[in-house]
Structure 1
Amino acid sequence: MSERLYIFDTTLRDGEQSPGASMTRDEKIRIARQLEKLGVDIIEAGFAAASPGDAESINAIAEAIKESTICSLARANERDIRAAGEAIKPAARGRIHTFIATSPIHMEKKLRMQPDQVVEAAVAAVKLARQYTDDVEFSAEDALRSEPDFLCRIFDAVIKAGARTINVPDTVGYAVPHLTTEFFRKLIEGTPNSDQVIWSAHCHNDLGMAVANSLAAVMGGARQVECTINGLGERAGNAALEEIVMAVRTRCDVFDLETRIDTTQIVPASKLISSITGYPVQPNKAVVGANAFAHESGIHQDGVLKHRETYEIMSAESVGWSQNKLTLGKLSGRNAFRTRLQELGILPEGEEALNAAFARFKELADKKREIFDEDLRALLGDSGPDATERYRLISLKVVSETGEQPTANLVMGAQGEEHRVVAHGAGPVDAVFKAIESVAQSGADLLLYSVNAVTAGTDSQAEVTVRLSLDDMVVNGQGADIDVLVASTEAYISALNRLTTEAGRAHPQA
């Protein structure tokens, strides 16, 4: 019988630290439900002390999810621990993940604490967390640059205090694989009662080795891996869940470990995350990239046609690529629509939201003959107009002619008033954005404008992402429509609305 490898997903916490990747409460619930469907063991739903919004989201996820453990991050102080404990209260299984820095540079320069004080704070945090749940995880921030003897000391202390999981994060992506394996072995051998806890790895991708280091940690004795869908995360990102899971599954001769992941849900999860965050998946990305199972070389094509395993070590179907199938048409009813959304794990909360989504589906079905699962995901990713939002699109007319400067005629709602504006631009999109800004006058900088075709064909929906920056805040806005200019307009307005409603949040990194 193979040993169990626990999958700890931190897309909703560490993944949200990617610039502009902040998510609404409803979006987080949708993602959490897909992660539960995927079979993730632990979902790190957020950092409760960061903001009231984070705490509310964790609480809502804890109420909605029954199969996965729901976890909140907390620094090693009373305020954070109590906020985390309250946030996970509704969970069928709840965990508090508390951390403190242990590397010499962090203790001296950031914490300004002596090693004895760090150990004392860690023990106190674990003991307090145990008042809320028996499932407490302790992380030594910047562990891979910490002194092994000190780590063994603090790990011994927190295990005695009641920690059930010990996380050894490579917070700055400094590690290399062969040294990571030895580092974990040394820690496990040198820590008293090391067999009473699950050892965990949390690796960042600054040098492009997060997955390799995570798997190296597993070879060294780790039995939990902390990762994110698509490798989303701070700076260069985190270890990619899909790559770790498929590596362990494909090379069972090396790892001899089992996960409870339903791998056919990997691609749907990847596409959902990409749609909500606005972070596209590069075509050559392992496992979930559009080209991951494409063969251009004639030699490769011939080999695959004769026997798939000549050039494919896993099948496209095994990770969910068969999900892009024709589903509904304009004659489909509301019940069929609801059933398919439920099967895809993207059913919106409440009858009002479902009715609004169904209305947008009917509008799309009148324009597009064939509707695929990808269209439905894009449809739900674009939530449509909200009466409470500051800005909204009313109508748009764009004129673009060879040799002439493009012109955008825009009617836009702003704070309950209707504005009609005309603007010119270097291109039609530029004209549209200038028209919007002539009303909003936000002063924001455009960091990213990205267009992605949801399905094949010229009638495909365009999924547009706009990333705006203002002061210290970075936000993404999304729009989806068969008309790329309408999608672009909705994406820019969506980003503006997020700028006006979201407060900046501090996310400590672990």
Structure 2
Amino acid sequence: MTAKDKLYIFDTTLRDGEQSPGASMTRDEKIRIAKMLEKMRVDIIEAGFAIASKGDFESIQAIAQAVKDSTICSLARAVPGDIERAAEAIKPANSGRIHTFIATSPIHMQYKLKMEPPKVLEQAVAAVKLARNHTDDVEFSLEDASRSEFEFMCKIIEAVIDAGARTINLPDTVGYGEPGEYGAMFGRLINAIPNADKAIFSTHCHNDLGLAVANSLAAVMHGARQVECTINGLGERAGNAALEEIAMAVRTRQDMMPVHTDLDVSHIVPTSRLVSSITGFAVQPNKAIVGANAFAHESGIHQDGVLKHRETYEIMRAEDVGWNTNKLVLGKHSGRAAVKARFEALGITFDNPEALSAAFERFKDLADKKHEIFDEDLQALVSDVKPQSVPETYKLGDLEIVCKTGQQPTAKLSLKIDGAVQQAEATGSGPVDATYKAIESLVKSNATLKLYSVNAITQGTDSQGDVTVRLEKGGQIVNGVGADTDIVTASAKAYLHALNLLAAPERSHPQREGI
């Protein structure tokens, strides 16, 4: 294959994925995900939107320092302030990219930008030229390309390539595209634009109609050589094209696909779990590639076929995408070295011996409660011991629940609030309701509970419960997560985690600033 036949994987989990309401991450969490993406050999990591917030800027900068083998990218609107901020954020990177964009569809230009097409073209060219003053690697996106007029796209693409853009992205921003139409758009543009050979064309699809992966692959079949995607299909509204589905479709259907990737797909499942545990967005069991049922066979006919010859019902090997990684089971007799090695295999590292010791102690505590500890358990417990950039304004002390048939449950608890211990007691319709009412009697957050979700992390009645709580206050949405073998304790941890996020102004989500 020639270099043109490589399909570049552009992961935007840390930028577009974070725009899922409540999915904002700390700097440490973003670095952990970025390091796993680097281990997977993702080509470009879009680390954030530098102008959106101080936290986003610092996260991009930290990732640029930590990641050596992937290109680190920052998004920027086609305005000087955004571009200068993006350039500063990616400065520490071995390889840095500025990704600038402007809307090109009639509806966006008229109602959002309130600009005429010639002005949009002028601003796009100026933005690319300014970005090229900082880096040779500039990507330009025509926002809402799937609803843009063909002739105008030809003009603006030719102009920004002349100005120095080396990647041209044609996003299906609102998920409006249809595979035949969207794919053909790429072919027409590549054939019509005189200098198209000087740039790589890219696709970025949203999943509003469930067509993000299909549209992305259709674009590849018509000449796109970069796909923008996210782990687990995370993203605002219905999400983005899922990296794992793109990667395995290309790998599995090499008879049809004119491209290959450099991805190490064995890290797909561990990375999926990491993103899920950090964001609190559970992966549905029937999700392709990374869902718990993706390689499960219930039907007797299917089971018989797989036993006789695997390929009768399996087009991929579960081991290839990392499903074998959960077979190493740890227990209370496991030593520090084995636990440390397993953490490292999951992409979890510790800055100092004290942090590792704290993690090992939590491991031992958990091992006393449940017989077998799996990878999912390790990822859940590490959030309790890794240093977080969000201060713990509220911390759980003691929690006592009294439940009796025919009577309302009562919760008695103590919280450490800004260092001072306070106590409360409340009744509720259930133990979790009573616990939350007791917490609110002290905190008085006035936040609205938008989601309460419980998932068993592993099998068995001794499994840890993984609880996700989504709170909304003043337009800000946050997800809190907590895990424990006691579901009520896990619920309290998740609620307090969400309250701590709301109390941290630096965690303000980019969407809140109107970006």
| TM-score bin, normalised by smaller chain | over 0.9
1:186 aligns to 2:193 (yes or no):
no
**Aligned equivalents of 2:7, 2:463: Cα separation in 1:** 40
Counterpart AA for 1:499: L
1:25-36 pair list within 5 angstroms:
25-36=27-38
TM-score (norm 1): 0.97
Displacement of 1:195 after TM fit?
Answer: 0.9
Displacement of 1:196 after TM fit?
Answer: 1.0
Question: Is the Cα contact below 8 Å between 2:24 and 2:509 reproduced in 1?
Answer: no
Structure 1 unmatched runs, 5+: none
TM-score (norm 2): 0.96
Partner of 1:88: 90
Partner of 1:120: 122
1:413-424 pair list within 5 angstroms:
413-424=416-427
1:111-510 pair list within 5 angstroms:
111-383=113-385, 388-502=391-505, 503-507=507-511
Displacement of 1:350 after TM fit?
Answer: 3.9
User: How far does the alpha carbon of each residue in 1:143-192 deviate from its partner, in whole angstroms, 9 at most, with x for none?
Assistant: 11001111111111111111110000000000000011111011111112
Decide which moves more: 213-222 or 321-330: 321-330
Aligned residues: 510
Q: 1:423 to 1:487 in 2, by over 3 A?
A: same
**Aligned equivalents of 1:385, 1:209: Cα separation in 2:** 39
Q: 1:353 to 1:132 in 2, by over 3 A?
A: farther
Partner of 1:20: 22
**Aligned equivalents of 2:164, 2:386: Cα separation in 1:** 47
Counterpart AA for 1:439: L
Question: Is the Cα contact below 8 Å between 2:19 and 2:510 reproduced in 1?
Answer: no
**Aligned equivalents of 1:143, 1:398: Cα separation in 2:** 55
**Aligned equivalents of 2:509, 2:319: Cα separation in 1:** 39
Displacement of 1:421 after TM fit?
Answer: 1.0
Displacement of 1:60 after TM fit?
Answer: 0.2
Q: 1:47 to 1:271 in 2, by over 3 A?
A: same
Displacement of 1:351 after TM fit?
Answer: 3.9
Counterpart AA for 1:394: G
Q: 1:384 to 1:6 in 2, by over 3 A?
A: closer
Q: 1:56 to 1:384 in 2, by over 3 A?
A: closer
Question: Is the Cα contact below 8 Å between 2:33 and 2:274 reproduced in 1?
Answer: yes
User: How far does the alpha carbon of each residue in 1:99-118 deviate from its partner, in whole angstroms, 9 at most, with x for none?
Assistant: 00001111111111111111
Decide which moves more: 454-463 or 46-55: 454-463
**Aligned equivalents of 1:385, 1:391: Cα separation in 2:** 16
Same amino acid, percent of matched pairs: 66
**Aligned equivalents of 2:147, 2:508: Cα separation in 1:** 30
Displacement of 1:509 after TM fit?
Answer: 9.9
Displacement of 1:463 after TM fit?
Answer: 1.1
User: How far does the alpha carbon of each residue in 1:365-422 deviate from its partner, in whole angstroms, 9 at most, with x for none?
Assistant: 2222222222111112344797941100011011112111111111111122111111
SS at match of 1:140: strand
SS at match of 1:400: strand
Partner of 1:60: 62
Decide which moves more: 327-336 or 302-311: 327-336
Decide which moves more: 449-458 or 232-241: 449-458
Question: Is the Cα contact below 8 Å between 2:393 and 2:418 reproduced in 1?
Answer: yes
Question: Is the Cα contact below 8 Å between 1:229 and 1:270 reproduced in 2?
Answer: yes
Decide which moves more: 383-392 or 33-42: 383-392
Question: Is the Cα contact below 8 Å between 2:161 and 2:199 reproduced in 1?
Answer: yes
SS at match of 1:279: coil
Displacement of 1:327 after TM fit?
Answer: 4.2
C-alpha RMSD over aligned residues? 1.6
Counterpart AA for 2:377: D
Displacement of 1:339 after TM fit?
Answer: 2.5
SS at match of 1:257: coil
Decide which moves more: 380-389 or 296-305: 380-389
Q: 1:384 to 1:394 in 2, by over 3 A?
A: farther
**Aligned equivalents of 1:41, 1:474: Cα separation in 2:** 31
Counterpart AA for 2:204: H
Structure 2 unmatched runs, 5+: none
**Aligned equivalents of 1:220, 1:509: Cα separation in 2:** 34
Decide which moves more: 72-81 or 342-351: 342-351
Displacement of 1:250 after TM fit?
Answer: 0.7
